[in-house]
Amino acid sequence: MRNRIARMFPTGSGRTVMLAVDHGYFMGPTRHLENARATIAPLAPHADALAVTRGILRTSVDPSVSTPILLRVSGGATVLKEDLSHEALTTTVKEALRLNVSAVALSVFVGAPHEHESLVNLAQLVEAGEDLGMPVVSITAVGKELEKRDARYLSLACRVSAEIGAHLVKTYYCDGFSKVVDGCPVPIVVAGGPKLDSEQAALELTHHAIEEGAKGIDMGRNIWQSEHPVAMLRALRAIVHEDATVREALEVFREEKTRPKVAPAEAPA
Ligand code: 5RP
């Protein structure tokens, strides 16, 4: 278990930069993720973990890619329904082991119509994970209700996840985020949410989250919907792993975006 978790935190910073590309399971072919293989290939060498579903792992991640995998194992609802909380476990821990992933992830929907089922899914996944040495990441999902993302709600959702046994929690950044961190006894990583107005805004969000105690990010749209996704990922790494300021990270972004593109196989690990 600890070895699998450590794989996703490979640098001395004790933090992680995960690339989230698991949106298609309920959103379909989202902008810039229409061809998942093409989006993932140049970014994978710069991420500490790739968050994917098994379908994308099978079809769109080359088996030679050594980036640790965070496998999403919940699903069952799509954006065509108002209520996204009606999820079940879609992949077993046995399959996750066969796929040699580093952790499994599922959404919990605290306060939503299917709150109970999603929390029981978490409990069952933790149970199976404990048996087989597979860490579980709980994602405090809000479905379409993005306005739910305040400190009071996220503190509750993160704490409940940890109490049920999640080894890591993925949540959103919010005002008063340090309260969310203080109330959660397991490490928290933050998602980016829908694409913000600028790269600077996403770098600022990340900087605040790290300053207030996040152990990293699991970010998607603010990376691969950028016109310069590799530069964005490298700028985020500077904040998460090197404690760069937003200004320093923007410098990294500007330098990297003018760098000639390198084929994925030649990109630095
Ligand atoms: C999709 C997810 C995403 O992994 C999570 O929201 C992070 O991606 P983004 O930064 O685009 O929000 O859980 O279901």
Pocket lining: 96 vs ligand 1, CB cutoff 6 Å:
no
pLDDT of amino acid 146: 81
> 72: part of which helix (H) or strand (E)?
strand 69-72
pLDDT for position 149: 83
Which residues, in sequence order, are bridge partners of residue 70?
51, 103
215 is catalytic: no
164 CB-near residues (< 8 Å, 6+ apart): 119, 122, 123, 126, 138
Closest to 110 measured CA to CA, from 187, 162, 176: 162
85-127 pLDDT, tens digit each: 999 999 999 999 999 999 999 999 999 999 999 999 999 999 9
Distance 139 CA to ligand 1 centre (A): 9
Average pLDDT score over the chain? 95
Options 148, 170, 195, 215, the catalytic residue? 170
Residue 79 has pLDDT above 80, yes or no: yes
Q: Does domain 2-221 have CATH number 3.40.50.300?
A: no
Please compute the mean of the pLDDT values over residues 25-51 and round it to a whole number.
Answer: 97
The burial class, CB within 10 Å (0-12 / 13-18 / 19+), for 42 is middle
State percent of the chain over pLDDT 70.
Answer: 97
Mean pLDDT value of segment 153-157: 97
Q: If you take atom 5 of ligand 1, which residue's CA is the nearest one?
A: 191
* Matching residue, tokens 């970014």: 43
Q: Which residues in 150-162 are b (16+ Cβ under 10 Å) and which e?
A: eeebbbebbbbbb
Q: How far is the CA of 141 from the centre of ligand 1 (A)?
A: 9
Name the least confident of 48-52, 167-171, 181-185, 256-260: 256-260
Q: Residue 269 has what pLDDT?
A: 42
Task: Label the pairing between strands 168-172 and 188-191.
Answer: parallel
191 close to ligand 1 (CB < 6 Angstrom):
yes
Q: What is the mean pLDDT of residues 243-259?
A: 96
The model's pLDDT over 159-207, given as tens digits with 9 standing for 90+, comes to: 999 999 999 999 999 999 999 999 999 999 999 999 999 999 999 999 9
Residue 144's pLDDT is 81
Q: Where are the domains of the chain?
A: 2-221
* Residue 139 CB less than 6 A away from ligand 1: yes
Residue 263, pLDDT > 80, answer no
Mean pLDDT of 25-36: 97
The yes-or-no verdict on residue 76 having pLDDT over 70 is yes
> How far, in Å, is the centroid of ligand 1 from the Cα of 172?
10
Residue 265 above 60 pLDDT?
A: no
Name residue, tokens 């300053």.
211
Q: Is the pLDDT of residue 266 over 90?
A: no
